[in-house]
Amino acid sequence: TRSPRARRLSILGATGSIGQSTLDLVARQPKEFEIVALTAQNSVAELARLAVKHNAAYAVIGDATRFAELKSLLAGTSVKPAAGPEALVTAACEPADCVMAAIVGAAGLEPSFAALAQGSRLALANKECLVSAGSVFMAEVERQGAELVPVDSEHSACFQLIGTGEPSAIEKITLTASGGPFREWSRERLEKATREEALRHPNWSMGAKITIDSATLMNKALELIEAYHLFPVEPHQLSAVVHPQSIVHCLVAFADGSVLAQLSEPDMRTPIALALSWPARMQAPTKRLDLAEIGQLTFEPPDEDRFPAMRLAREVLARGETAPAVFNAANEIAVEAFLAGRIRFLDIARSVENCLEQADRAGVIAPAACLDDILSIDHEARRLAAIALERLS
Ligand code: NAD
Ligand code: MG
């Protein structure tokens, strides 16, 4: 039997790394949660398995051609199947106490926005959504009276560190970066970095896209923009430091010289648990932090010659308007091309920079007022990014 306090939870992107970690926590405390909708794009068998296991009300597959398959997998169960992009949006709107937005990329824009319409909690892992739609997204959070809790580990840390303190007392926010698998690689070696090498992250086990973003440091660049929208600071108050052990996730410096940091083992179940239970705290079965065993925590500045991502993020924030949407779209296209073996590792940052220049010249970077504006800029940026890629090859 379910606890009377059971929270209704939907997960957009349930079959991914964040989705599965969320369901792992749910499975350990099944009485505390009632699963409303689970969604996925292509992994129909996995989606059906999870929906049945967690007794979800709805299972929704983004790829409409997989509907028959989903329906037959769910035959004889109480899970209702649905398919297609509109069904993802409908699922996001089903009444719930919390929606976990864990779709990867700007593909999550429409469902993540739709989830805000209920005015309950949005646990946001889908950072590309906030990077791309930025102030339009934050305005919608406000308009709908939704509660936004970040899932990204650095932002979850910052969210806790800032607490209810006075925004004007915050001097600086520092996000940590693991440095990824290529932290110590020379530029010459990076020229030849392969897909397999880039996919081997030293500390975190995550989806393919964010793993490549960690290798290019584009992940930290996206996170800088994400932090800009989530927290009451100006761009010059945001920075990143490389911390290879991934134990400290964020540091916040205050006007009196005090610096607070959040520490935990690198396991996404800690920030996910916080997003599900805040302001309470729930059990998460992660390895407990033992500093004596770890011995050393080290920090170093990011090298912007080998990894230009952070510089690009600052330029994009300074340019404002829809520059971040173009930046995000160009990066998504470049990562896709790299994963498909069509471009080399260093071409990712090159093509993103190229695309930003093209877009600015073509007048694509302009103010945006609503989600439709963002969607059309995202679309146009993808077209320009494809052209920027052809130039490289
Ligand atoms: P993943 O690739 O493992 O999973 C992505 C999920 O989204 C899957 O369920 C997939 O079916 C679904 N999906 C993919 N394309 C889709 C589309 N076009 N339409 C609808 N659904 C689609 O990704 P992940 O690593 O779980 O990351 C999810 C999000 O969380 C990303 O934005 C990522 O940056 C962020 N994030 C992830 C981690 C991590 O540890 N994995 C940490 C911090 C932030
Ligand atoms: Mg992160």
Residue 207 CA to ligand 1 center (angstroms) comes to: 6
pLDDT of 205: 87
Tell me the best of 99, 206, 270 to mutate to test the pocket of ligand 1, counting ligand atoms within 8 Å of each CB and taking the most. 206
pLDDT of 119: 86
User: Taking 90 as the threshold, does the pLDDT of residue 388 lie above it?
Assistant: no
User: Taking 90 as the threshold, does the pLDDT of residue 255 lie above it?
Assistant: yes
Amino acid at 300: E
Give the model confidence (pLDDT) of 279-308 as tens digits: 999 999 999 999 999 999 999 999 999 999
Rounded-to-integer distance, Cα 61 and Cα 44, Å: 7
> Which protein residues touch ligand 1 with a CB less than 6 Å away?
13-19, 40-41, 43, 62, 88, 102-104, 107, 125-128, 152, 204, 206-207, 209-210, 268
SS3 category, 260: strand
152 belongs to an annotated ligand binding site: yes
- Does the predicted interface ipTM exceed a cut of 0.85? yes
Q: Which domains does the chain have, with CATH numbers?
A: 7-150 (3.40.50.720)
User: Taking 80 as the threshold, does the pLDDT of residue 164 lie above it?
Assistant: no
Closest residue to atom 22 of ligand 1, CA basis:
41
Give the model confidence (pLDDT) of 35-64 as tens digits: 999 999 999 999 999 999 999 999 999 999
SS3 category, 242: strand
Mean pLDDT of 19-34: 98
Give the ligand 1 atom nearest the CA of 17: 26
Residue 175 CA to ligand 2 center (angstroms) comes to: 9
Give the ligand 1 atom nearest the CA of 43: 11
Q: What is the chain's length?
A: 393
223 belongs to an annotated ligand binding site: yes
Longest dimension (CA), the chain: 63
Closest residue to atom 23 of ligand 1, CA basis:
207
Give the model confidence (pLDDT) of 90-104 as tens digits: 999 999 999 999 999
Of residues 388 and 214, more confidently modeled: 214
246 belongs to an annotated ligand binding site: no
214 belongs to an annotated ligand binding site: yes
390 belongs to an annotated ligand binding site: no
Rounded-to-integer distance, Cα 217 and Cα 210, Å: 10
Rounded-to-integer distance, Cα 361 and Cα 201, Å: 36
